[in-house]
Amino acid sequence: MSRHPLVNVDDYQAESRRILPRVLYDFVNGAALDGQTRQRNTDGFSSWWLCGRSFRSAPEIDLSLELFGTKLGAPILIAPTGASGLLWPRGEAEVARAASSRGIIMQVSAGSILSMEEIAAAAPGPKWLQLFLYKDRGLTTEFLQRAKAAGYQAVCVTTDAPVHGRREQDIRNGFTIDQRLSLGTLLDAAIHFRWWLRMIGQPRFSMQNFAGRAKGNMTDMAAYIAAVLDPGVTWDDFSWLRAQWDGPLVVKGILHPADAREALERGADAIQVSNHGGRQLDGTLSSIDALPAIADAVGGRAPILLDGGVRRGTDVLKALALGATACAIGRAHLWGLAVAGEKGVAAIIDILTSEMRNAMTIGGWTSIGQLDRSAVTRIPAHQTGEEI
């Protein structure tokens, strides 16, 4: 563990960099091309400034909300992250337990190391399955049936990954993970011995949701998954999916207000503003920059979720003020997982909620429902002479 207290997400990321093999750290932190969108996801929050009010604070701050009939402890979700079980033994189960203990939703990736059934059984609490529309619609239907049988509350369909983005660092690294030490990995093992030691004795890595369809090592399985992605998906395919699933259906990857309107017209129950963490198309709009126009287009007809660049509790508050219902954290929770498993993920959630409570107490908002566009401004008002 670090010699210094880990007090924010950046601290956990720095500690993860010391723990994880370089190729794995680069995989988690990586982005498409030059990483401009990944950077803007984070930097975009600094374009907005909170506008607190005086003499409105209260000793108790209410962070709770209801989503699809489920009472949640905070407006935070765990975003779906593929292969997160590479960071910690049975990593997705660790994440599930942390989310359950904090009363928040876990969005489970179709590309998880553990099966969706194992993750569902790891802890109580609401879970959503993230999936794609595959070329083999039978595979998509099978996933829906398995999700329903395992008790998943909702399905979150990803729209922004018809093919994998070009992640140059992974290409340079020849991203593969093999627990067996060889001459080529001895030096890396010596430097990152903590990761290697905790992974000793674990089953060989495999994406269990695809067991029986793809065989071989992680590289072979990743190649299979890439091959079954459908680059020809249309809105009519989404309508087909809507007819197959009778529970809440979330559309993840929306950046354009016209797409948000189309999704609702075709039966979506929620919109997730996302650019896949900047891992797909570089140079595209950041999530927080896209949010206001999408919120206007949705007009309160459905919940709006946001993921991408959330690293502070104040980031969450700004997103809520601009129209989001809740925010999902991707890399942020992975840094906690890499450092301390379930305890690390819970610590990240606690850090964000603590930062939210602190900011809301100072700013005079006693519940998240009080955050609207009057709570933020683009630049400090004194620079423009505008009244808030």
Is the predicted pLDDT of residue 311 greater than 60, yes or no? Answer: yes
DSSP secondary structure of 188-223 = HHHHTHHHHHHHTTPPPP--GGGTTTS-SSHHHHHH
Q: Which residues contact 189 (CB under 8 A, 6 or more apart)?
A: 21, 181, 196
- Predicted local confidence at residue 323, as pLDDT: 98
Residue type, 175: F
Dist CA 200 CA 160 (whole Å)? 36
Residue 208: what are its φ and ψ, rounded to 5°? -70, -20
- Greater confidence, 199 or 174? 199
Lowest mean pLDDT of 15-24, 39-48, 156-165, 369-378, name the range: 156-165
Helix (H, G, I), strand (E, B) or coil at 229: strand
Dist CA 12 CA 20 (whole Å)? 12
Catalytic one of 164, 256, 276, 333: 276
- Predicted local confidence at residue 183, as pLDDT: 45
- Greater confidence, 333 or 280? 333
Is the predicted pLDDT of residue 151 greater than 80, yes or no? Answer: yes
pTM: 0.92
Segment 82-141, tens digit of pLDDT = 889 999 999 999 999 999 999 999 999 999 999 999 999 999 999 999 998 988 899 999
Q: Does 192 qualify as catalytic in the annotation? A: no
- Predicted local confidence at residue 229, as pLDDT: 83
Segment 324-337, tens digit of pLDDT = 999 999 999 999 99
Segment 221-274, tens digit of pLDDT = 777 777 888 888 899 999 999 999 999 999 999 999 999 999 999 999 999 999
Lowest mean pLDDT of 89-103, 194-208, 341-355, name the range: 194-208
- Strands (DSSP E) along the chain, which ranges? 49-50, 65-67, 70-72, 76-78, 105-109, 127-131, 154-158, 249-254, 270-273, 304-307, 326-329, 376-377
Is the predicted pLDDT of residue 174 greater than 60, yes or no? Answer: yes
Token digits for 28? 């988690």
Is the predicted pLDDT of residue 186 greater than 80, yes or no? Answer: no
The candidate with the shortest Cα–Cα distance to 85, out of 208, 224, 191, is 208
DSSP secondary structure of 105-151 = EEEEETT-SS-HHHHHHH--S-EEEEE--BSSHHHHHHHHHHHHHHT
- Predicted local confidence at residue 219, as pLDDT: 66
Per cent of the chain over pLDDT 90 is: 67
The candidate with the shortest Cα–Cα distance to 279, out of 248, 307, 257, is 307
- Predicted local confidence at residue 179, as pLDDT: 46
At what angle are helices 257-265 and 287-298 packed, to 10 degrees? 50
Number of H helices, E strands in the chain: 15, 12
